Structure formats: structure tokens, C-alpha cells
A = this chain, B = another copy of it.
């Protein structure tokens, strides 16, 4: 069962907005056995919408469209689809009342733009949007299904979860698609390919393998398609166990579980708490950890110690050592970790201090030099990393390496 996604909006084509909708939708569709064969981003122009949709409908039996449903004049998706499917726009009284009520709650009176939002094509099935005022439309023609949703990510996600995914499962009978992703660190792509050459060569024909490198992490993904779920699961299990024999120490998780959640589970299982003392990572580690619900049970807090004053006053780093060794040094980062553990009253603390760039490097400590320390009840470990020239990448990879050092300590 193949589908395509079309995202509409000039903002995507001029690079003002990254299309995050498609990835989210593709993942959810995969979960119910629907494969996405193509993703197309086009502008808010009638000819582009009509041509792209017609081509997609020739190739597949399901097309999901997002964008172009706002109340303003640049949004033309509804009118274009209504014309294409030879329907008329008529007022939907239920939708009208809802728009009126939502605006009323915020004390905003109904205007022309809002009234137009309550118009819908008379032959489409209208799907309730509990997250905004734009209508969501389900068209059917010649056995093909076309669904038009708003482009605002949380509205689209809400509608998909509330109704669309369920409706699609009922409408189409689909094969089973399984993905298993293995999260690894510490081995680069080509070395990994060589280590796995025999294993990869002996994979059953129904398994497709992909290497997915990203800063600090290399993911290996096995994709399987078939009719029998139990059979596919058995194949994955066998191949995973063979893979573990080769690279077990480098696997930190599965199925896109990020490093901070691996660490969170280890902390929770042991009933231990964590604090952070961040200089070069500037709050990124705390942000990664607290992005996840429930983090307050193991994360007590952190200190973003950007200035030397904060390192001394809050974390208790020795002023003479700061002077003598510099902020980016083993001595200082270890004192930051020890100090954070104490002042935040936690079992473990992570500390980072480095030159994130693009400026601030010296010959001895060029941009990309990062010291990381982890302090625990019985341990104090520290490492120097020589990372990159790029600030964003340094912050990302240093945060990941810091969490990985803690993971190794917790799994010892």
C-alpha cells in the first residue's frame, strides 16, 4: 500500500520553514502499514497543486496534503481542490458555530476571513479539527483517497491522531511493515560497514539495511515488509542477536530512543538523581533531559556556568585553578562536576567546558576543544574531546558525549 505526501506553501520553497510535517506523517503511516513513496513540496499556486496532485493520484491510491488552508488570501488549497473535484463551497453550520465559539472564547469577533473558513466543498467528508479553525477534508474519487489538512504541525498531528489514522486503517487493507533501528556510537560509517560486511551479506532478502549517520550517533535500520507479523519479528530478533555479537558495546538503544532517555532509564532503574554544570553546552544538556515528561523524578537541576564568576560562586571552582589552567581544562571541569553534585544535591553530575566557536580558540586549545567530567558517589571521570569548527555541531556532539560518559559509568 503506497501513499504520497504533498506539502503546500511558498514558505517551504524559499526555505523559511523546514517541512517537519512529512517526516511525522510518514512515520505514523508506516506504523499502520502504509508506505510513503514520495514527498513533494510545492508553492501556493493553483497549477502546481493541480498537476502535482493529478500525478500523485496516477501513481498511488492515497495522497495526504498539508498547508494552504489558513484564513488569509495566500491560502488557496480549499478552493483549488473543490474545483478539481468539481464540488461547490457551501457553509458548514457546525464549523461556523465552532469558529465563532473559539474566537468568542478569546474575545475576538468573527470577520470575513473567519467566515470563509467555515465554507467546505459539498462532496467532501469533513473531519473534525479540534485544534484549530481550518477544516480538514477527505475526498474520494475513482477509488483514490485525497486528504487535505492544515499545515500548522500541532493541528495536523492532532487531526491525524484523533481520526485520520483510524479511518485509513479501516479504509485500506495493508501489509505489515516493520522497522528496527539500532542506535550506536563510537564507530564511523565506513568502519562499521566493514565490521558488518559478513552479517550484512547474509541478511535474508526481505531485510533492507540502511546506515544513518548524524552528529555523534550512527543508526542502523533494518526494514522488513511481508504478510506475517510474527515471522518478521522472528527474523528481526535473530538478526539483532547476530548483530549484538559484533558491536554490542557500541549499542546504546533502539528505535530512535535518544541518548538522554537511555540515561534517564538507567537513573530511574537505580533510583539515582542527576544534575548538570554546563559551560560550552550552555543549557543544551538540561534542555534535552527536561524535554521529556517525568524528568523531574531524576533531574534536580543544573547550573549554566557561562562566566568564570558563576563557576566560582555557585559551583565552588577554585579561582587560582581557573587562572592557572583556564576554564577549558581538566582541573576546572572536574571541580565543576564535583561542585554541581554538591550544590544541586544529586547522586551524579555532568560538567562541560570547551571552546564552542567560531571564535575563542587558541593554538593550545583550538575551537572544538571540550573537556567533560562526570562525578558520582564513588567516581570522578573526565575526558578531552577534539570536536569540530561549527558551534551548533560542537554543542550537540559535546552534549551527547557527556550523556554517553554518564551512560558508560551507570552501566559499569
Interface centre among A35, A215, A293 (most CB of B within 10 A): A293
Q: How far is the CA of A112 from the CA of B24 in the complex (A)?
A: 36
Q: What residue of chain B has the Cβ atom nearest to residue A151's Cβ?
A: B213
B23 pairs with A15, CB closer than 8 A: yes
Give the size category of A's interface with B. Answer: 35 or more
Q: Which chain B residues border A304 with CB–CB below 8 Å?
A: 276, 283, 286, 290, 301-304
Q: What residue of chain B has the Cβ atom nearest to residue A292's Cβ?
A: B391
B10 pairs with A16, CB closer than 8 A: no
B290 pairs with A283, CB closer than 8 A: yes
Contacts A15-B30, A18-B18, A291-B282 given: A303-B314 contact, CB under 8 Å?
yes
A189's contact among B70, B295, B357, by CB below 8 Å, is which?
A: B70
Interface centre among A38, A313, A357, A392 (most CB of B within 10 A): A38
Determine if A411 is an interface residue (Cβ-Cβ < 8 Å): no
List residues 250-304 of chain A with CB under 8 A from any CB of chain B: 256, 276, 278, 282-287, 289-291, 293-296, 299-304
Contacts A11-B210, A17-B23, A359-B293 given: A40-B39 contact, CB under 8 Å?
yes
Determine if A331 is an interface residue (Cβ-Cβ < 8 Å): no
Determine if A90 is an interface residue (Cβ-Cβ < 8 Å): no
Contacts A190-B114, A213-B152, A284-B287 given: A305-B313 contact, CB under 8 Å?
no
Contacts A190-B114, A300-B310, A392-B291 given: A16-B11 contact, CB under 8 Å?
no
Q: Which chain B residues border A29 with CB–CB below 8 Å?
A: 15
A209 pairs with B283, CB closer than 8 A: no
Q: How far is the CA of A39 from the CA of B294 in the complex (A)?
A: 38
Q: Which chain B residues border A226 with CB–CB below 8 Å?
A: none
List residues 352-399 of chain A with CB under 8 A from any CB of chain B: 356-359, 388, 390-393, 395
Binds B, one of A41-49, A79-87, A237-245: A41-49
List residues 212-239 of chain A with CB under 8 A from any CB of chain B: 212-215, 219, 221, 223
Q: How far is the CA of A359 from the CA of B295 in the complex (A)?
A: 11
Q: Which chain B residues border A296 with CB–CB below 8 Å?
A: 306-307
A-B contact pairs, 30 of them (CB 8 A): A11-B210, A11-B212, A11-B221, A13-B37, A13-B39, A15-B36, A18-B20, A37-B43, A39-B41, A71-B190, A72-B189, A73-B193, A73-B209, A106-B188, A152-B213, A276-B304, A278-B286, A283-B286, A286-B287, A287-B287, A290-B304, A290-B306, A293-B357, A293-B391, A301-B304, A302-B304, A310-B344, A310-B345, A314-B343, A314-B344
